[in-house]
Structure 1
């Protein structure tokens, strides 16, 4: 076989034409979208996308009116805690609206719903209940004036009976309520104050955890729903993906939920002046927040245990399922796809495709070098190598090189056995650090270092597996003084502060990870710097806040 050199001349203007960015359908006007509909109909294509975009330009403004009706129906109340509950309801309504919108859009792409109706389904789904709730608000009478509140509002008359003058509330003659107190020598005993604080904490914790976990589920469903409605995947496959993706969602949501629960809990008792009463009774802020700090340690252990047990395997399985849903093959997903590998004897291996299930290497080449000058001495090409102890090569070609680097012709060998490393040398854990636990990543870094790869970025990821679980402790410490400062302004301020702190931490985490991967900081410092900085800020605020 002889190989020739071919020189081709390409015009850059034909490959990279000079033109501005193309406008998408949302940037087009209604008349331009109508023209797109006509063009697609003439070409025999489905014009569902421009049709839906035309209706979207009208349906979203109408949604503003529907949101106003829902806000009117749910916002009329005299409860002190109605502000935070209305905020939660409002966020939920927005999520429901956009879920309906993307589901309807995916259904229209799958020809299950008319594109003329798809963008109006969210308005119908929320508009009809909004009208019903407003009607009940307006036309209900008596104790049904605000039926959606947790407690009814009376009309000038109290439903409770007056307390007799001879009876006093909390009298010593009144018999005490009996109950059972469970005490474990392994856990600190909870007094009445701890139970009261933890009651608020767990309510907010569950609300924040479920809400943010729902955000991940909704966003993922929106992303993959078009595959479901087009028939490219099944509901069972999506449910399986959600099952295996849940540990990663919990890993992300738990720290933010801890921060929000701490901020809102301390903020509420600050807002209602209960913290002032506790201080007047000689109970410091540190004692009030002690159970929250203990739970921060518990959540930290949960994160570490999650990362070292099921998180890595769940991420690998979830990503494999996601590849199947997207139409790709998961066969090589868990493979360290190092197409260039240095062998222990100094040879260099290269392959184009690796099938770990069948233990096959396709397009496999072996580059051998001379011991004295490290000049290329031999190249062996194998069309397919199958491991049968030893490796069996099919379609083997060999080319030798002399000391002057004169190219010798290829020599066809055919089928022959090859002396190579076992399949475990080629098939290792996936290169993504999120799909490995601490020990697996540590072993993987050792393999890469032995092959001469730069592992700085992976060393940062290795240290982050130790530093990240401490985020719940840091968030709890920094949330306590922030809640005392912002809590007096209302329940919404701690929530906003929590979101700002969480965003700041994630930004700092990403920045230091990038700086560490570039080699500008030591991997240990790059991974622990966010915890150190936020922990120092939390310590300063805790020492300066009025306790």
Structure 2
């Protein structure tokens, strides 16, 4: 790494860390602490539960601040260099805009990659732990009494042995409705069972009014049988099923893809999960997009004030997330393809950044 690169990286590092701390504090103060206060006053949450909630809330907040912090770092770093005429001296020495901005774009690229892995490896587990504390330690009333689109996986070793889907599950009556069960042998689908409902009684599930389809190894229908009652080979109790169900933000990318595939197979709207999947990638990539915008803006003359840089950051962030909110609603509502809706904010940001870079490089 050349001296110039080290110098620019050093200028970026401080504002980037400051941005993570500052924006995280805003999220914590406006959302997390208010929720925790509500749990304390309404449910009498213990100190240990409060500490757990605070810790588990940090990863999803931090990953959201990466793009914001990258924007702030680029604006403040180049704003200071520009204000002290160091940029002018560098440009006079024959250093082009692209050479000056290269360290920023490289760092932003690696921040985006890190954010993707962080969102995949840490955030889902953190969200799951947070919801567990709320549900079982604070509210103490387990899961909701009625849940929709239940998916239960039985895995033996590394192989999926059985996959069960229920359109609705009522824990009060221990009943699943519109049940579809798929059985696998060595990864091959060999049987499909559909039933009007399944009831938990005498420590087992009984499917009622259904049909069985046996399949050959090639996937062709071998035989069909109707039944009034059929004991399911699944032995999971209703309480265990409730605990296994995950929200979209608790799932990994692999789990989201599997969930979407199952819901689509049952002709259930899966756009909420599709949007979560796309945003799991789109939001981390925003770190690079914001660097593309912030770097040329920071090179503008008379941009040495940190308060100006912070103000510009807030405006850009507000516009970006306003666009994201609107297009998320359009994607989930079916007005736009989910992939397009999730990536429109980044596409707009890339176009704006490219225009700014072109102007700054002249």
TM-score, normalising length: structure 1: 0.51
Taking the aligned partners of 2:42 and 2:237, their CA distance within structure 1 comes to 41
Q: Quick one: distance in 1 between partners of 2:331 and 2:42?
A: 43
**Which residue of 2 is the match for residue 471 of structure 1?**
286
Q: Which residue of 1 aligns with 2:29?
A: 218
Structure that is richer in strand per residue: 2
1:302 aligned residue:
114
1:385 partnered with 2:201:
yes
Distance of aligned partners of 1:250 and 1:423 in 2 relative to their CA distance in 1, 3 Å threshold: farther
User: 1:323-402 residue pairs with structure 2 within 5 A?
Assistant: 323-324=135-136, 327-331=139-143, 337-338=148-149, 350-353=168-171, 362-364=174-176, 382=199, 384-385=200-201, 387-388=203-204, 391=205
Instruction: Provide the rounded CA distance (Å) in 2 between the counterparts of 1:367 and 1:458.
Output: 21
In the alignment, what sits opposite 1:51?
A: none
Alignment of 1:30-109 (within 5 A): none
1:264 alignment partner in structure 2: 76
Shift of 1:238: 1.3
User: Residue 508 in 1 paired to residue 320 in 2?
Assistant: no
8 Å CA contact retained: 2:293, 2:356:
yes
1:517 corresponds in structure 2 to 332
1:193-204 map, 5 Å: 193-204=4-15
**Correspondent of 1:276 among 88, 109, 133:** 88
Measured after TM superposition, the shift of residue 327 of structure 1 is: 2.2
Higher relative contact order (CA 8 A, sep 6+): 2
Q: Distance in 2 between matches of 1:210 and 1:439?
A: 31
Q: Give yes or no for the alignment of 1:444 onto 2:262.
A: no
Q: Quick check: 1:266–1:487 contact (8 Å CA) kept in 2?
A: no
- Structure 2: unaligned runs, 5 residues or longer: 153-161, 181-194, 210-227
Deviation at 1:200, TM superposition (A): 1.9
Instruction: For residue 329 of structure 1, report the CA deviation from its aligned partner.
Output: 2.9
Report which stretch shifted further, 469-478 or 307-316. 307-316
Inter-CA distance 293–379: structure 2 relative to 1 (3 Å threshold): closer
Counterparts of 1:106-145 in structure 2, within 5 Å, are none
Give the superposed CA RMSD.
3.6
**Does the 8 A contact of 2:96 with 2:361 survive in 1?**
no
Q: Summarize deviations over 1:110-160 as a string: whole Å, max 9, x none.
A: xxxxxxxxxxxxxxxxxxxxxxxxxxxxxxxxxxxxxxxxxxxxxxxxxxx
Q: Give how far 1:269 is off.
A: 0.8
Bigger CA drift: 205-214 or 441-450? Answer: 205-214
Is the 1:482–1:497 contact (alpha carbons within 8 Å) kept by the matching residues of 2?
A: no
In 1: Cα distance, 2:197 partner to 2:3 partner = 77
CA–CA distance in structure 2, aligned partners of residues 337 and 365 of structure 1 = 9
Structure 1 residues not aligned, in runs of 5+: 1-188, 355-360, 369-377, 399-415
Distance in 2 (CA, whole Å) between partners of 1:515 and 1:285 is 38
Instruction: Tell whether 2:4 aligns with 1:207.
Output: no
**1:6-45 deviation per Cα after TM superposition (whole angstroms, max 9, x unaligned):** xxxxxxxxxxxxxxxxxxxxxxxxxxxxxxxxxxxxxxxx
Does residue 286 of the first structure (1) align with residue 98 of the second (2)? yes
Match of 1:529 in 2: 344
- 1:299 Cα deviation after fit: 0.7
CA distance in 1 between counterparts of 2:18 and 2:179 reads 60
Q: Considering only CA atoms, is the larger Rg found in Structure 1 or Structure 2?
A: 1
SS of residue in 2 equivalent to 1:338:
strand
**Contact kept in structure 1, 2:148 and 2:166, CA below 8 Å:** no
Q: 8 Å contact 1:268–1:487 — kept in the other structure? A: no
Name the SS of the counterpart of 2:201 in structure 1: strand
**Whole-Å separation in 2 of the counterparts to 1:519 and 1:471:** 24
